[in-house]
Structure 1
């Protein structure tokens, strides 16, 4: 059951544990960068104990008024004993200044030791802050909260909270997803394909850069042997189901390692006047006729794909094909931008094919190879075409198509 208050609603998850969800349907670019037409939610959680309440994170600043109203409809704010800050990024802490004002120093703010400094630097506030150690336990009446530091997942002060009696793990960004899901809770064993897509996209965009730290923290969570029945992230739905933590850890581990799905090919190209586009269309058509379907992301004068979606697809691709125009005797600017993000966010030992089209010199190819050389990606084929596709080019492209088919089926 949900009580709606404009864009913010409260949901009873189980006795003593509630979600306050803000739905952002207006946002276009998450973090001012990632295209998310699917929107996003900001989830705060409230735990009610017999000796007071705890609020876990807040919501983005634009939802502050509604958040405070909904919180007051759920509990008496005078009963708030703790405000737990898992991560100080403003999409989670945006309503924190108003909440601190409402509490009037009556509650303690708990967080990683770095969190207190961030509250002051980001909001100019000095609340009753208490740093909590990794593994520290705090009691809230009948509830026992254990704090788990997970640095660089994805900020240095990130931490999680394990509510032992409920067997709930409150994770902030970790295991979150883009979109505004229809369901507050989702069974991880029956994860909808679309929702997993939005989880992976979010991972690639926001968390993926910190791959080594992700793997370290995943291993740490495994070793804790927590008995978890639900994962409560700050974006998307609550994950439930048998072995929910193990399933979530497996997904994150596969993405952190950029493990490929069988035969998955992702093609990204930039084209000004159609020369590159015609080359790509020829290759993609031939692959399709041979049972190999490619995910195509295009950046042309008439259409521009979402880079945010591209990164999520590259992460699980077996092969990446990059085709680029030449511009100002250099690599096309959008290709540079895209390659830099691919290298930074999805860096993995995957084969990559590089195609360029040029007029008076194939400088674009050299620039692209220089960028890719800084990564784990391996260029298995590099071919440049001088203007129109000629007979000799078709011979090479047909060879390339055969190589691609063998590679993805191998």
Structure 2
């Protein structure tokens, strides 16, 4: 248990070893499962719990707590809710405070009884005696049932996944803003980018509150929260940057030559470009680039008459994340034929993009292929300039 203020304590757990989340998302820096205890003069509230794998550590941090009246469950996903049944076993008088949608999910996921819940509407409050928690519904951050809590007297926002970052650290508060900024952007890119328009509306709701501190459910606490809120405002904005995200894979070097040529051509035209070799890349880095990119160019060789599976995976990821890119193209080499462009185009129905003329070549790229790549670079530079994309 670590003290945040005279009435607020951190009671979560640090997972130094975790390297994959949801069997999908890379965690290069581990993570934390943050939970918080708020003491009022009359009642005590526990805000979220931890992943079940860390339940023993979590319950040990509550050994000196004699009573919990409320368990505030901001989000039903198991890394936050996993230890709720154990908390109720130790504190049977506690009630779980949730949104209506969270109640149903927790009954399904945790097999909790219906009479264990108190459902709160958007804007409702609960008094702990001299401390007041106000609940703000924030759907699709990043599930439909999510909410956040605002401790009125201390001006603390308990934001759950909102503003979170996967960093294992013994530091309670942010000590390295650059490191946390990158981790928070990765976190946003991997789970929140598809919902950025709704998240922008949720941020507008937070503007009504005087927030001096943000305590998320993953990562460190922001005791100077302005910069992370400004970062989110940029990430959810409609206008992308003058940047091309270029994920690619190359089997025998032909597609790689095309990628290198296009990357150089874009740079000469003052267009930013980020290359991601899908055979070795951290997919989280690609997701971060998609937060900003104005264009996506996919480098895909043809194998078995279609796109290389790694290129198909990148297309599937981009379609799922729904980035704000406005333009897309495909480049790559083939041996005798195939339907690479048609297959990839069919995999991205969620992307509201203008498709620029693909550049494909048979075997090694020749002068006409390189000239076509220069033409693609010209087209991208012109489109970005006309669209007003910033660097």
Asked whether the 8 Å contact 1:311–1:346 carries over to 2, the reply is no
Separation in 2 of the partners of 1:179 and 1:406?
40
Displacement after TM superposition at 1:292 (Å): 5.5
**From 79, 87, 111, the counterpart of 2:75:** 87
Q: CA deviation at 1:297?
A: 0.9
Whole-angstrom distance in 2 between the partners of 1:266 and 1:298: 11
Aligned to 1:391: 367
8 Å CA contact 2:12–2:49 kept in 1: the answer is no
Partner of residue 280 from structure 1, selected from 256, 259, 264: 259
Asked whether the 8 Å contact 1:276–1:325 carries over to 2, the reply is yes
Cα distance in 2 for partners of 1:117, 1:284 equals: 49
CA 1:91–1:402 in structure 2 vs 1: closer, same or farther (change >3 Å)?
Answer: same
CA, structure 1 residues 68+388, in 2 after alignment: closer, same or farther (shift >3 Å)? Answer: same
The alpha carbon displacement at 1:65 in A equals 0.2
Matching of residue 69 in structure 1 with residue 48 in structure 2: no
Q: Deviation of residue 313 (structure 1)?
A: 1.1
Structure 2 Cα separation of the partners of residues 290 and 233 of structure 1: 41
1:4 aligned residue: none
The 1:182–1:25 alpha-carbon spacing in structure 2 relative to 1, beyond 3 Å, is closer
Question: Post-superposition shift, 1:403?
Answer: 4.5
Deviating above 6 A after TM superposition, structure 1's stretches of 4 or more consecutive aligned residues are: none
2:205 equivalent to 1:226: no
Whether the aligned pair in 1 keeps the contact of 2:174 and 2:180 (CA below 8 Å) is: no
Bigger shift: residues 370-379 or 351-360: 370-379
* Distance in 1 separating the partners of 2:367 and 2:155: 66
Distance 1:317 1:374 in 2: 16
Alpha-carbon distance between aligned partners in 2 of 1:144 and 1:204, rounded to the nearest angstrom: 33
Uncovered stretches (5+) of structure 1, i.e. residues with no partner: 1-9
Question: SS where residue 96 of structure 2 aligns?
Answer: strand
Structure 1 counterpart of 2:99:
112
Equivalent position of 2:334 in the other structure: 358
Equivalents in 2 of 1:25, 1:238: separation in Å? 17
* C-alpha displacement of 1:332: 2.0
Structure 1 position 79, deviation (Å): 1.8
Q: Deviations over 1:275-328 (max 9, x none)?
A: 21222123334555676653211123xxx2122221111111233221101122
Hey, what does 2:111 align to over in structure 1? Answer: 124
Q: C-alpha distance in 1, partners of 2:120/2:382?
A: 54
**Given that residues 362 and 384 in structure 1 are in contact (C-alpha distance below 8 angstroms), is that contact kept between their aligned partners in structure 2?**
no
What's the offset of the Cα at 1:331? 2.1
Match of 2:35 among 44, 65, 68: 44
Find the aligned partners of 2:350 and 2:70 in 1 and give their Cα distance.
Answer: 46
Where 2:182 maps in the other structure, the secondary structure is helix
Secondary structure of 1:322's aligned partner: strand
Contact 1:204 1:346 in 2 (8 A): no
The size of the alignment, in residue pairs, is 385
> Cα deviation per residue 1:47-99 (whole Å; 9 max; x = unaligned)?
11222321100111110000100121xx32x3211111111100101111211
Partner of 2:284: 308
Aligned to 1:161: 149
Q: Contact 2:322 / 2:351 at 8 angstroms: preserved in 1?
A: no
Residue 217 of structure 1 pairs with residue 208 of structure 2: no
Partner of 2:249 in structure 1? Answer: 270
Map residues 138-149 of structure 1 onto 2, 5 A cutoff.
138-149=126-137
The RMSD of aligned alpha carbons is 2.3
221 and 91 in structure 1: CA distance in 2 versus 1, 3 angstrom threshold:
same
1:347 to 318, 323, 327: 323
- How far does residue 367 in structure 1 lie from its aligned partner after superposition? 1.9
TM-score normalised by length of structure 2: 0.90
| Separation in structure 2 between the aligned mates of residue 331 and residue 13 of structure 1, nearest angstrom | 52
Is 1:240 the counterpart of 2:212 in the alignment?
no
After superposition, give the CA deviation of every residue in 1:182-241 in whole Å (9 maximum; x if it has no partner).
642238xxx72332221111112112222332233222223xx21111111101111222
Structure 1 CA distance, aligned partners of 2:97 and 2:177? 35
CA contact (8 A) 1:171 1:231 kept: yes
Q: How high is the TM-score relative to the length of structure 1?
A: 0.86
Please identify which structure carries the higher strand content. Answer: 1
Match of residue 237, structure 2, among 247, 252, 257: 257
In structure 2, stretches of 5+ residues that fail to align are 387-391
Work out whether residues 249 and 310 of structure 2, in 8 Å CA contact, stay in contact via their aligned partners in 1.
yes
- Helix, strand or coil at the partner of 1:37: coil
The answer for the alignment partner of 1:172 in structure 2 is 160
